[in-house]
Structure 1
Amino acid sequence: MRLKPELRQAGILTLATWTLSGVLYLIPYHLFGGEAGLYVALSVLNICLLGALLSAGVYWAVRSARSRNAAVRLVTLGMAVFAASALLALLDAATADLLARLVGTDQTPAPFAMRATNNFVALVWQFALLGAAFTVIEANNLARDRERELALARETASRAEAAASAARLAALRYQLNPHFLFNTLNAISSLIVTRDYGPADAMLAKLSEFLRATLSVDQDALIPLEDELATLQHYLEIESVRFGDRLEVAFVCGADLNDALVPGFILQPLVENAIKYAVAPSTRPVTIRVEARADDGSLTIVVDDDGVAGEYPPKPGTGVGLANIRQRLQTLYGDQASLETARREHGFIAIVRLPLRRLVAHIPARVA
């Protein structure tokens, strides 16, 4: 029987995560303590196998709550992560003595309470990361399901075209780059293994804020530019952990444009392209600049960088991310909005132009 795509994605992600975790658990033994030994290997295998099985429960919880509001989804995910972490920690601590007797090792397992507590702290991160990934997968699946339902309604209802446009926007809105998520999960997992819990906690908090913004905003909504830039800041803070001093960011936006309305997540693909083609391959610091300005009733947003020209694709303006932006602008504004891209001698520039609309009427200050 062929698995559904979403189940196959979740299964592959679970297998890859626990395999990577097992390898990372064993590396310190080889680096600092010689051979890990049969007892340690079996203990790690036991944790990874049980963890993979319990991950299915976390995925089921995320999937069952995917149509509920953001608060319910977050509470459900938290309870599933806590339960899976506690159960796995207790099972590992309970079987530690049995494994030690089976292999006849001289190693004495840590006391039950200590082993269970330490494992719980580490495992809660593991299941939280998987839960966040499952949430993104189900968000994408939910968007695709909604689009299919709206496509069927188009054949029988006079308002089907408007519904189909909303579905297309929803699908585009939820297209998160899996490479970004995979790299973020890897970075957090490495920090946990090396017991850098402070940076790991900060990075997970930033990822949580970014995912919360992704899942809580109405797919079709226009949001204030201030909120769009705040979400973009969360994304850049996550990437800054990966690239460190190689990534520099500059925001140029006057306070008078904070209430200007823009499509949600319209800038993230542009910044992601700059990171992928300018920052990632570079060995020197690269500055990404985001500038917003008002031009004769229009809002102009510029995203540019000073990367090396040779690091960019040969045909600027192509790609799924840029095509999605153009499609969203066309759906929302027609010919009143545009996206222009160009490769420069030093770097790449993308310019978004759209009608200047505000959250509330902008009343100029009265001159005395």
Structure 2
Amino acid sequence: MFLTNGCNRMSNWIEVLVTAVRHRDRPFRQKPAKAETQPWKNEAVMSPRMRQRIRLIVGVWLGWTIAGLFYIIQDTVPRLYRGGAVPWKYVFVGWMTGMYVCAALTPALLWLSNRWPIERRRTYIALHLGFSVIFSILATTLEVPLLLLLGVFPAPPPPPSIAAGVRIMLSFGIQGGVIRYWAVLALHAVYRSQKNAKIREREAFELKVKASELAQQLATAQLSSLKMQLQPHFLFNTLGAIIVLIQQQKTAQAEAMVEKLGNLLRRTLDDVEAQEVPLWRELEFLQLYLSIEQVRFEDRLRVRIAPPAALSEVLVPHMVLQPIVENAVRHGLGQSEEAVTIEVVATSSNGALTLVVSDDGPGLLSPRPGRPGIGLMNTRNRLARLYGDGAQLVVEQAPNRGVRVTITLPMRTVPQEASPCD
């Protein structure tokens, strides 16, 4: 009858514990605020593609204007040097008309350049040789009507028809249009090469960043997996201890252990996403766990934890000490009827933090090390994931009696904004 009442009381305690853990920190649901209407955000905005087209048009016309001025200077300077008269209207209007005709044909030239890039295949060079001749003839055909309309045809008297004017202009040679075609083609090839190089560099950087992010996500997932294996491990052991107390009809101790287990679960949920916590917080968690074990073993378990205040903000892996202390409790008290003292010491030297967990229990009974438990094995794996070769875990026989476990970590401190005092 007493055992049945104890079990019923334990069931009530567990229901209260589960309900508190489930409803803890549940966010208060609020109605979404109405979005502010900002009509100015709906105004038409010039797209990047449109801005690129405008820059291209301005650049093409500016480039051909500079080329026209170059031809004008080349034509007028010798005449001025010889002291001759310069027909400014014929020179200026004539050259600029030819340049702006080339500017109008440049979009088609750039399309041909993109369609058959000369840097990809040598056969494209022969193809562009034919295109350059066609470009020169077409530019001359478009230029003659404009020159006749503006009255600046370079060969007086003016021809009687456009066809006659085209024949006259072509008789001067088509090399001018061909040279202009290849000049634009070469400049565009250089521009395209530089642009592609920047694109490749940006893509390589993005791939490197993505690879780094994926590696970090993988490492985080692996660490979380190891940590999740530790949490059920000590939880099941604690529940097993509670069952033993109930079976032994130690109801008061079982109730106290359930209450402390609830506090321990709350602390675990607080740091469920943290891989590292300050040393002071890890030791508080450890003391909470040991208080559960002290309910079970009463006066047989003694604990000494006295870390220096200067090391309280040093970061350590969350739950790094719990599986080691659990081993000390299980092997020390479980294999001996005598009282056991567990001591946790933290020191620092040469930029490294040293955590030592020792007990005065029976020690390592077998000289041949067996297969390590899940707690110790996962602790080693977590240290390797977090610190690589910068961390060590050594299990050895204590000098006098018991077992000593030494963990060495690189010193990392809590950032200022993460300090508990802030």
Secondary structure at the aligned position of 1:284 is classed as coil
Q: Structure 1 counterpart of 2:405, which letter?
A: A
TM-score for the superposition, normalised by structure 2: 0.48
* Offset of residue 219 of structure 1: 3.2
Larger Rg belongs to? 2
Give the corresponding residue for 2:243: 186
Is residue 2:358 matched to residue 1:304? yes
Please point out which of 209, 213, 229 is paired with 2:263: 209
Q: CA RMSD in A?
A: 3.2
Shift in alpha-carbon separation, 1:320–1:186, aligned structure 2, 3 A: same
Give the corresponding residue for 2:341: 287
Q: Is the 8 A contact 2:335 2:362 kept in 1?
A: no
Give the corresponding residue for 2:12: 124
* Offset of residue 309 of structure 1: 2.8
Report 1:78-157 matches (<5 A): 123-128=11-16
Shift in alpha-carbon separation, 1:309–1:133, aligned structure 2, 3 A: farther
Per-residue CA deviation, residues 72-94 of structure 1 (Å, 9 max, x unaligned), is: xxxxxxxxxxxxxxxxxxxxxxx
Per-residue CA deviation, residues 230-257 of structure 1 (Å, 9 max, x unaligned), is: 0000100001111111111111311111
Please point out which of 340, 344, 348 is paired with 2:394: 340
Secondary structure at the aligned position of 2:237 is classed as helix
Is residue 2:280 matched to residue 1:226? yes
Q: Structure 2 counterpart of 1:358, which letter?
A: T
Is residue 2:314 matched to residue 1:260? yes
Q: Is the 8 A contact 1:317 1:340 kept in 2?
A: no
In 2, distance between residues paired with 1:172 and 1:233? 22
Is residue 2:4 matched to residue 1:25? yes
Shift in alpha-carbon separation, 1:310–1:225, aligned structure 2, 3 A: closer
In 1, distance between residues paired with 2:370 and 2:319? 20
Shift in alpha-carbon separation, 1:242–1:200, aligned structure 2, 3 A: closer
Q: Structure 2 counterpart of 1:25, which letter?
A: T
Q: Is the 8 A contact 2:332 2:361 kept in 1?
A: yes
Report 1:312-351 matches (<5 A): 314-315=368-369, 318-344=372-398, 346-351=401-406
TM-score for the superposition, normalised by structure 1: 0.54
Q: Structure 1 counterpart of 2:352, which letter?
A: S
* Offset of residue 184 of structure 1: 3.6
Report 1:54-93 matches (<5 A): none
In 2, distance between residues paired with 1:236 and 1:299? 23
* Offset of residue 161 of structure 1: 2.5
In 2, distance between residues paired with 1:280 and 1:219? 33
Identity %: 35
Shift in alpha-carbon separation, 1:350–1:317, aligned structure 2, 3 A: farther
In 2, distance between residues paired with 1:185 and 1:133? 18
In 1, distance between residues paired with 2:251 and 2:324? 34
Is residue 2:215 matched to residue 1:161? yes
Q: Is the 8 A contact 1:292 1:301 kept in 2?
A: yes
In 2, distance between residues paired with 1:122 and 1:322? 31
Shift in alpha-carbon separation, 1:286–1:311, aligned structure 2, 3 A: farther
In 2, distance between residues paired with 1:311 and 1:130? 40
In 1, distance between residues paired with 2:293 and 2:22? 20
Q: Structure 2 counterpart of 1:185, which letter?
A: I
In 1, distance between residues paired with 2:308 and 2:371? 28
Per-residue CA deviation, residues 321-344 of structure 1 (Å, 9 max, x unaligned), is: 222111111111111111111123
* Offset of residue 265 of structure 1: 0.5
* Offset of residue 122 of structure 1: 6.2
In 1, distance between residues paired with 2:286 and 2:269? 14
Q: Is the 8 A contact 1:207 1:238 kept in 2?
A: yes
Give the corresponding residue for 2:413: 358
In 2, distance between residues paired with 1:130 and 1:240? 23
Please identify, of 265-274 and 204-213, the stretch whose mean Cα deviation from structure 2 is larger. Answer: 204-213
Where does the alignment leave 5 or more consecutive residues of structure 2 unmatched?
24-209, 417-422
* Offset of residue 316 of structure 1: 6.7
Q: Count matched residues.
A: 225
Shift in alpha-carbon separation, 1:195–1:288, aligned structure 2, 3 A: closer
* Offset of residue 318 of structure 1: 2.5
In 2, distance between residues paired with 1:317 and 1:304? 20
